[in-house]
Structure 1
Amino acid sequence: MRHFAYLTDDERDRLFAVPPGTVTPHSPRSTLALALGATLYSPGTRPALDVDAARAAAIGATSVVWCLEDAIPHAQVAAAEANVVAALQRIDERGCGEDLPLLFVRVREPAQIRRLAAAAGPALSRLTGFSLPKATGPGLGEMLAAVAEVSAGSPHPLYAMPILETPDVAWSESRAAALGAVAEQLDHYADAVLCVRVGGTDLSGLFGLRRDRDTTVWDVAVVRDCLADIVNRFARNGEHVVTAAVWEHIPGPRLFKPQLRQTPFTSRRESALRQHLIDDDLDGLIRETTLDKANGMHGKTVIHPAHVSVVNALFTVARSEYDDALDILTARAEGGVRASAHGRMNELGPHALWAELISRRAAVFGVVADESALVELLGAGQRQVARVFAPALPA
């Protein structure tokens, strides 16, 4: 699995100073966590999940979640479980799992994890793990124990992705204790935890709020404070990868002006791409993902194919960031301050952890040659979506 695999060799060589690396289910846990990128959610009731996964891979998705929780009616849980198992078995029979994204199932309870594992049999090896909703209290420990149990019989580790989205995490007076309790459980099952996810929709809903297409999740104060505390508790010292909240909008009317500068697009003669991104509200997604990164989150839940390539492109590393990171990592034992070739001040002590994280992200997503290359990468991703999913989109 490799980010932007739809690019030709010539395109990859031209757009990247350092190309994206290859990742497999056997890669180190920390590498897999960063490689998730845009995680595409699909209801577990869709009739051909294996076909959906192949199409997701074709547009560059490196992680997919089949949801058996909020995305499906309660009355269809049993049918959806059978559907997920059947899809895994078809993938296993064809032996094509290596060409697919990392596959996860969002479950409701520990017993469901064990039922799926028993029903899937050897095909369970096609999964990378389970997404655990409402991750809090004793239920979290029970679900983590179930993941560790079924992982013991798999040829590669099966991981848990707990989702923080419950009232005790949302309310300010209970948040510190709730996050501390979650941290204890994650420490106990450290080898089984891939990343920490956040349920932005659930957290907003607890306050009766829903951001509009002109507002990022970081503009919603009570949710922003909660997200900041989650990053503070789990991402310190690079302990865990914390992934960002879903962008839940599809094209529709808007009030405020677009959020994309014209210059990077006109310089590449990509004005039509800029208008396409604006018309499909992808400028809002770009803004929110940029703020996710600035606040220490890596990867993002997405619900629309067009969102995948946008999020993944934004998690590439800029050449200036990469050069500074290498300079800091090379000289950090000396201490002190060095002038960056890109007009910044590099403090070798305070910036060391940042440099390590940039280096790790570059190994997965690659280093784009320049700002123009990033624009071209955005365009290539949208054209690939048009080819695979929606021929009516601009190509």
Structure 2
Amino acid sequence: MRFFDKEVLDGQNTLFYEAPRPFTKYTEIQRLRYCVGAALYMPATREMIAQEIITRKHPSLTTIVIDLEDALGDLQVEGGIDQLNKTIDTLSTALHEGTLLIEHLPLLFVRVRDVMQLQQIIQMLGERQHVLTGYVLPKFSQDNGRAFLELIEQQNKSGYKLYAMPILESPHFLLKEQRMDNLLAIRAILVEFEQYILNIRIGTTDFCGLLGVRRTISSTIYDIHPVRSCIEDILNIFLRDDSPYIISGSVWEYFSQQDDGTSSAFLGLLREIEMDRLNGLIGKTIIHPSHIEPVNAMYTVTHEEFIDAKRILQLSDGQLGVQKSEYGNKMNEMKPHFNWAKRILLRAEAFGVLQPNVQYMDLLQRKVLK
């Protein structure tokens, strides 16, 4: 897979100063963490998932989460597991026969309901787990976190390459009096299993549900102050210093069937991604294909960011403490901006670097606003 693959293959050098690099589930974890991007959730009961992957119905879609949890009613779970089995079987056969190349297989995850169901899915899929990149772990807490991750570790020791994406969405994290103790306990668990953690996800829909509120199409999740406070603390715990963790942005609930790039749903999504990115989140959970291009386009790296980041790392040998940027519009400080610069270059490898005269909206106009 590769972000904006068609543009790169078509040789549209008017867009990219440096093209995004290809990746698969076997890419080194430090870079793969940045490659999740727009992660589309699909109900496990959906019958066409395998066929749409094989035919590349959505060629820009690089990450899929097959959902056995919130996307299904309780009475649908058994049918969802049966269909998941068929979906993975079809994909495994297609890879074996060569009708699907590993280079065209999206990062594929299964979101389970609990530890017992994860055990069930592992046993059911067996060696066909090679199709998966990993599992999404909902309601992740200090009560179930270790059991979840021990199962992931066991599968890796058995020869499978599988990652975990825990979701922080339980009341323990929203309720202020419980939050910090629980976040620190979770961090201790994740440190122990760090090599298996691809992303940490935040379940803000669940947080809003606990409060009985919902953001509107003209607001962002950051406008709901108790939820914003929770996000702030999660970022403070997991992004400090030179943390390896990548936190992904929460789902945007609104979409328009006939979007020309001017709808309230589209503009609201862009506003929220801008806030996500500004606060250090990378990628986003999505529930509609129209969200794929905006999310991924907004995570490309501008030429100015790229040049600043490279220069900061080049000059971080102690010879200089501060220098005017090559764009001549800011001061770059080597120590304070060091971790930012490293993250920018990793993001650049995943999403690419835009030409000096190209901005996010220029890319979107070619990708979305046709």
What band does the TM-score fall into relative to the shorter chain?
over 0.9
- Bigger Cα displacement from structure 2, 3-12 vs 193-202: 3-12
Question: Contact 1:25/1:32 (CA < 8 Å) preserved in 2?
Answer: yes
Could you tell me how far apart the structure 2 residues matched to 1:278 and 1:173 are? 42
- What SS does structure 1 have at the residue aligned with 2:237? helix
Q: TM-score, normalised by structure 2?
A: 0.93
- What SS does structure 2 have at the residue aligned with 1:335? coil
2:152 corresponds in structure 1 to 147
Deviation per residue, 1:173-223 (Å, 9 max, x gap): 111001011111111211111111000111111111100000011111111
**Residues 11 and 377 (structure 1), Cα distance of their counterparts in 2 relative to 1, 3 Å cut:** farther
**Structure 2 residue identity aligned to 1:131:** V
Deviation per residue, 1:198-254 (Å, 9 max, x gap): 0011111111110000001111111111001101111122330000110011239xx
- What SS does structure 1 have at the residue aligned with 2:368? helix
Deviation per residue, 1:319-369 (Å, 9 max, x gap): 000000111111111231100122111011111111110011101110011
Question: Contact 1:59/1:381 (CA < 8 Å) preserved in 2?
Answer: no
Deviation per residue, 1:279-329 (Å, 9 max, x gap): 262111111001101001001000110101100000000000000011111
Could you tell me how far apart the structure 2 residues matched to 1:85 and 1:12 are? 40
Could you tell me how far apart the structure 2 residues matched to 1:169 and 1:162 are? 13
1:336 corresponds in structure 2 to 321
2:60 corresponds in structure 1 to 60
2:301 corresponds in structure 1 to 317
**Residues 76 and 114 (structure 1), Cα distance of their counterparts in 2 relative to 1, 3 Å cut:** same
- Bigger Cα displacement from structure 2, 307-316 vs 333-342: 333-342
1:228 corresponds in structure 2 to 232
Could you tell me how far apart the structure 2 residues matched to 1:371 and 1:303 are? 32
Question: Contact 2:260/2:368 (CA < 8 Å) preserved in 1?
Answer: no
Is residue 172 of structure 2 the alignment partner of residue 168 of structure 1?
yes
Backbone CA RMSD of aligned residues: 1.9
**Structure 2 residue identity aligned to 1:24:** T
Question: Contact 1:170/1:203 (CA < 8 Å) preserved in 2?
Answer: yes
- What SS does structure 2 have at the residue aligned with 1:160? strand
Cα shift at 1:29: 1.3
**Structure 1 residue identity aligned to 2:162:** L
Q: What residue ranges of structure 1 are gaps of 5+ in the alignment?
A: 253-272, 384-394
Match of 1:131 among 131, 136, 140: 136
Is residue 351 of structure 2 the alignment partner of residue 347 of structure 1?
no
Question: Contact 1:16/1:373 (CA < 8 Å) preserved in 2?
Answer: no
Question: Contact 1:97/1:126 (CA < 8 Å) preserved in 2?
Answer: no
Question: Contact 1:160/1:193 (CA < 8 Å) preserved in 2?
Answer: yes
Cα shift at 1:121: 2.6
Cα shift at 1:55: 6.4
Cα shift at 1:27: 1.1
Is residue 113 of structure 2 the alignment partner of residue 108 of structure 1?
yes
Report which of the two has the higher share of helix: 1
Is residue 17 of structure 2 the alignment partner of residue 31 of structure 1?
no
Could you tell me how far apart the structure 2 residues matched to 1:80 and 1:247 are? 24
Could you tell me how far apart the structure 2 residues matched to 1:68 and 1:381 are? 31
Could you tell me how far apart the structure 2 residues matched to 1:55 and 1:355 are? 38
Could you tell me how far apart the structure 1 residues matched to 2:57 and 2:194 are? 29
Is residue 46 of structure 2 the alignment partner of residue 46 of structure 1?
yes
Is residue 304 of structure 2 the alignment partner of residue 300 of structure 1?
no
**Structure 1 residue identity aligned to 2:176:** S
Could you tell me how far apart the structure 1 residues matched to 2:55 and 2:227 are? 33
Question: Contact 1:124/1:154 (CA < 8 Å) preserved in 2?
Answer: no
2:208 corresponds in structure 1 to 204
Could you tell me how far apart the structure 1 residues matched to 2:207 and 2:362 are? 35
Q: What residue ranges of structure 2 are gaps of 5+ in the alignment?
A: none
- What SS does structure 2 have at the residue aligned with 1:42? strand
- In the alignment of these two chains, the number of paired residues is 362
**Structure 1 residue identity aligned to 2:31:** T
Deviation per residue, 1:95-132 (Å, 9 max, x gap): 12511210000001122222222222322100000000
Could you tell me how far apart the structure 1 residues matched to 2:57 and 2:314 are? 36
2:74 corresponds in structure 1 to 74
